[in-house]
Structure 1
Amino acid sequence: MTAAFDIAANRRATEALLRAVPPAPGTRARERTLAGRRALAVTAEARASAVRHRAGAGALLWIHGGAYVAGSVDANVGFASHLAAAAGVEVVLASYRLAPEHPFPAGLDDVSAALDALAAERGGPEAVVLGGDSAGAGLALAAMLLHRDTGHALPAGAVLLCPFADLTLTNPSWTAPETDDPVIDRDTFARIVGLYTSGDLVADPYISPARADLHGLPPLLVFASETEALRDDARAIAAAAPDARLVTRAGLTHVWHLQVATLDAARADVARVGTFVSQRLTATAPVR
């Protein structure tokens, strides 16, 4: 008999992993609300003020990972501070409701509302770059599809770190011989998918956006390890989106960016994220 999935243990492990990321020097985090939900605004003073000036009042809206069932804004402050330092802008960590207590579409609704609220606050969607890691990247992509399909304006761009965005779990990378993923186990993820949505909905484009028509989306920066089980999710997104750059790394774990304090490749790729965010906000900033 297959053991039951221990949601409490999974949440504890996810929190511990995320909280292990030490903050960048000069980090500040303040409590706020966004679309009626708790959020954290994170800033770091590590970058020159010229970067912040070029980006104007822009912000990076970050959606945390945790396989749709775990993670929190509090646990992501350390990583968000490195993103803030790299991009030279405020990073807003948005909370969303988690499964199984709140299955699809609760989390997607929360992310969509947060994107609308931050865009209105900053003067328009061109002042926001959306981003997320793992399931957070999947929710970010789904929120952009929802906004496109309902006539809402889209952000200036999006960063997708190792997206978990095809919940059918049918991609070849799950069983390919070169897959060597110590973080992700298919049996565990199959149980998680069952907590997030019913089986007859799993291919819905707002649940598995990597399988969707991605026309009309803004520029995307997508990352994946060449040996992680989710690499085909990232490849499918990069192939389908009209303007997407896929960055792959050999021999690294799922969302290696979290090792920014100790791993050269993570530092380099967080810096790449920062450059992308700054460039997108600068490119779309209104002329004053």
Structure 2
Amino acid sequence: MSRQQRAQVDAMLRRPTSAPTGPRPIQEIREGFKALMAQMPVPADVRTTETALGPRRALEVEPEGTRRPGTILYFHGGGWVSGSPETALSLTGHLVSGSGVRAYSVDYRLAPEHPFPAGIEDTLAAYRALLERGEDPAAIVFAGDSAGGGLAVTTCLAARDAGLPLPAAVLAFSPGLDSTRTGASMDAKEDADPIFTRAAVEYTGAMYLGGADPHQPLLSPAVYADLAGFPPLLIQVGTNEILLDDSTRLAARAREAGVDVVLDVTADVPHVFQVFAGFLDEADEALERATLFLTQRLRAAQRGDAASVGVRSRQYARANSTRLP
């Protein structure tokens, strides 16, 4: 692990043009985020295809070689106001390349044009579309980064509350999990965070809220969610980010609910540091751990566990008429 690598990443992210912070016009935020993420390398051994899941466009990402059974349903970051499957392609591609498992990355609607709960409606519809195709939920993992990491958690909550069978696992990179902004790290880590300030996340967060009360599970699961019955959960986060306590508090709630949870905290790295794979040793190692988590949780599907498929399919058949309010 290189202190010099971490220092170089920190310096790059502190340049005024790097981070999608506000207050700035929404189009400027989106263009800045797109430009930043375009610098992140995508593995050469994956291929992409335009497709759709439910009503929304999606990007299918597949390994060039032999594909293992299973599906990663990926939700991109961008503060709920920016980003796309393309901006997340480095992360999605590394997960696909490392695991050999196909991914679908969902182009969910963004605020302020489409505030809460539009994004969750879209990600839940994408999950329903996979189930309606006959995919076994035991062979699906939700994954995402930043706002998308938050959506991985809240989509799982929405699926459970709608009576749907749950995925095999949830993987979240630096998830946004508290729209009340009450974590101590919001202030304690502001100097260490090279990307975000409280003012910046409150600015874009207000766009996502659209006037909704943040004191509810689908907006602040780190504070209000009941995680009973949740699938295994891996949360990766860095110490140099104001959203650190979003992760630590959700992990604590998961443990209290009896959920199998791994809180993976890496020192002196920023928000979604995994995008620096190939340059930052900690990013490479974190992605290796994430890939191991995915493959372990999908092991039953890779063995062709017919009993599991049958049970999950019957669960979905019973629940399929339920819809998110």
Same fold (TM over 0.5): yes
- Distance in 2 separating the partners of 1:25 and 1:280: 25
Q: Cα offset for 1:42?
A: 0.8
Q: C-alpha root-mean-square deviation of aligned residues, in Å?
A: 1.7
Where structure 2 has 5 or more consecutive residues not aligned to the other structure, the ranges are 1-21, 307-325
User: Does the CA contact (< 8 Å) of 2:51 and 2:57 recur in 1?
Assistant: yes
- Distance in 1 separating the partners of 2:187 and 2:89: 34
Where in structure 2 are the equivalents of 1:53-132 lying within 5 Å?
A: 53=68, 56=69, 58-121=70-133, 123-132=135-144
Where structure 1 has 5 or more consecutive residues not aligned to the other structure, the ranges are none
1:274 corresponds in structure 2 to 291
What amino acid sits opposite 2:261 in the alignment? A
SS in structure 2 opposite 1:15? helix
- Per-residue CA deviations over 1:24-44 (Å, capped at 9, x if unaligned) read 122210111111211111123
Q: Between Structure 1 and Structure 2, whose CA radius of gyration is higher?
A: 2
2:41 corresponds in structure 1 to 22
- Distance in 1 separating the partners of 2:210 and 2:73: 28
1:201 corresponds in structure 2 to 213
Residue 276 (structure 2) aligned to one of 242, 259, 268: 259
User: Does the CA contact (< 8 Å) of 2:80 and 2:208 recur in 1?
Assistant: yes
- Distance in 1 separating the partners of 2:131 and 2:38: 28
- Per-residue CA deviations over 1:124-165 (Å, capped at 9, x if unaligned) read 211110000000011111111111112111100010100111
Deviates more, 1:184-193 or 1:72-81: 72-81
Q: Percent identity?
A: 38
Change (3 A) 1:177 1:221: closer
What amino acid sits opposite 1:7 in the alignment? I
- Distance in 2 separating the partners of 1:232 and 1:87: 29
User: Does the CA contact (< 8 Å) of 2:142 and 2:167 recur in 1?
Assistant: yes
Q: TM-score by structure 2 length?
A: 0.82
2:231 corresponds in structure 1 to 218
- Per-residue CA deviations over 1:174-230 (Å, capped at 9, x if unaligned) read 111685101111101111111111455112211112221111110001011122100
- Per-residue CA deviations over 1:68-117 (Å, capped at 9, x if unaligned) read 00001122223321110111111111110000000011001001111121
Q: TM-score by structure 1 length?
A: 0.92
- Distance in 1 separating the partners of 2:97 and 2:136: 23
- Distance in 1 separating the partners of 2:110 and 2:179: 16
2:311 corresponds in structure 1 to none
The number of residue pairs the alignment matches comes to 279
